[in-house]
């Protein structure tokens, strides 16, 4: 069983916000994750539902827990919330720290197939398999009641984790996701690096707006939130309407909440995180 090491613990809204490290087999490096455990002194055999949160470019396991204020709502709904880091760390690949939108802090929640990234950059397998096992082996989770959400790069990560693993998550939601990475500058750079510039067929296997067409599983609604004043929306990085169109064509239900006046920041995430946690809590009952 994986050994996890406690790094910090803080009481918050009656629960405990903790950070742990562990050695990841998938990524072949030490990783950190944050976990919120709602209080309540639950019965010894009580099992709680879990929400996985995936953060965006430049983030690590701390941004969401410090800036979104989600703990108030997780405590209210009795949800465990797990937030991993956004990439492998300190694996010494050439150029891994050179830019903020590729390499460390920018793992894109894919399994890289191109050398040298393929040795460590396996965030998809880490999030959808190894991390779930680590959490289920160490915390009082209800293993059949988990959902996933995220922001920006992590919003897209949440969408592909759900679309590529039918039935694994009860619900999925995304704030300002990169909806169609094969068609935006961030995605083209990341997929070119992680899969190879000529591997366009492989790119499609990791793009939510492409994956909806092949989704074949239990009914799944894509619950998407977007600030109308988000500068990355205006720059063509997020392309939510491409996802909506793809969902229409594939008859996959998709909700797009446009939020007038809001930007891309955690001020925006904090404004609507309560709605998203209530949404997931309803699916996790
Ligand atoms: N560094 C980028 C911005 C990157 C960015 O906005 N990252 C978002 C996710 S895509 C974030 O959550 N940043 C961390 C934070 O706000 O705490 C820039 O300066 O343009």
pLDDT at 40: 62
Asked if residue 241 has its Cβ within 6 Å of ligand 1, the reply is no
Apex CA 196: angle with CA 211 and CA 209, to 5°? 15
Q: Which CATH superfamily is domain 4-284 in?
A: Alpha/Beta hydrolase fold, catalytic domain (3.40.50.1820)
Asked if residue 122 has its Cβ within 6 Å of ligand 1, the reply is no
Burial class (CB in 10 A: 0-12, 13-18, 19+), 122: buried
Catalytic residue among 24, 68, 87, 152: 152
Please report, for residues 27, 108, 159, 223, the alpha-carbon distance to residue 155 in angstroms, rounded to integers and kept in the order given. 21, 10, 6, 10
107 neighbors 125 (Cβ within 8 angstroms): no
pLDDT at 111: 98
ipTM of the complex: 0.94
pLDDT at 282: 98
Q: What is the mean pLDDT of each run of 10 residues along the chain (285 residues)?
A: 93 97 98 93 79 98 98 97 98 96 98 98 98 97 97 99 98 99 98 98 98 97 98 98 98 98 98 98 97
Burial class (CB in 10 A: 0-12, 13-18, 19+), 72: middle
Structure tokens at 48: 């709680």
Supply φ then ψ for residue 262, to 5 degrees.
-90, 145
User: Would you tell me how many other CB atoms lie within 10 Å of the CB of residue 47?
Assistant: 16
Please report, for residues 5, 47, 63, 127, 171, the alpha-carbon distance to residue 134 in angstroms, rounded to integers and kept in the order given. 12, 15, 21, 10, 21
Q: Tokens 């790094």 label which residue?
A: 7
pLDDT at 45: 75
Catalytic residue among 209, 230, 276, 280: 230
Instruction: Choose which residue among 59, 150, 231 to substitute to test ligand 1 binding: the one with the highest number of ligand atoms within 8 A of its C-beta.
Output: 59
Of all protein residues, whose CA lies closest to atom 7 belonging to ligand 1?
57
**How would you classify the pairing of strands 48-54 and 141-151?**
parallel
Rounded CA separation 80/59 (Å) = 20
pLDDT at 273: 99
Asked if residue 267 has its Cβ within 6 Å of ligand 1, the reply is no
Domain extent listing, the chain: 4-284
Of all protein residues, whose CA lies closest to atom 11 belonging to ligand 1?
56
Is-catalytic flag, 264?
yes
176 neighbors 264 (Cβ within 8 angstroms): yes
pTM for the model: 0.98
Q: What is the dihedral of CA 84, 78, 269, 278, to 10 degrees?
A: 130
Rounded CA separation 259/230 (Å) = 10
pLDDT at 46: 83
pLDDT at 44: 67
Is-catalytic flag, 99?
no
């Amino acid at each position: 069983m994986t050994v996890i090491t406690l790094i910090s613990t803080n009481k918050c809204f009656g629960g405990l916000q903790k950070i742990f490290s562990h050695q990841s087999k998938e990524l072949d490096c030490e990783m950190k994750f944050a976990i919120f455990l709602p209080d309540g002194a639950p019965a010894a055999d009580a099992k709680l539902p879990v929400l996985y949160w995936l953060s965006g470019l430049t983030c690590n396991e701390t941004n969401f827990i410090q800036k979104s204020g989600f703990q108030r709502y997780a405590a209210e709904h009795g949800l465990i919330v797990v937030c991993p880091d956004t990439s492998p760390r300190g694996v010494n690949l050439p150029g891994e720290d050179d830019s903020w939108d590729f390499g460390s802090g920018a793992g894109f929640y894919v399994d890289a197939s191109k050398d040298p990234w393929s040795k460590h950059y396996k965030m998809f397998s880490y999030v959808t398999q190894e991390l779930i096992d680590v959490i289920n082996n160490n915390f009082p989770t209800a293993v059949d009641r988990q959902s996933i959400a995220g922001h920006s790069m992590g919003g897209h990560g949440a969408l592909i984790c759900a679309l590529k693993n039918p039935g694994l998550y009860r619900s999925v939601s995304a704030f300002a996701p990169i909806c169609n990475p094969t068609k935006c500058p961030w995605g083209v750079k990341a997929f070119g690096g992680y899969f190879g510039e000529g591997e366009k067929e492989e790119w499609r296997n990791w793009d939510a707006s492409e994956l909806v067409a092949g989704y074949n599983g239990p009914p799944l609604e894509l619950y998407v939130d977007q600030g109308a004043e988000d500068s990355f929306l205006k720059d063509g990085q997020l392309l939510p309407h491409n996802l909506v169109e793809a969902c229409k064509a594939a008859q996959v239900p998709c909700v797009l909440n446009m939020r007038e006046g809001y930007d891309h920041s955690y001020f925006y995430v904090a404004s609507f995180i309560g709605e998203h946690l209530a949404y997931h809590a309803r699916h996790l009952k």
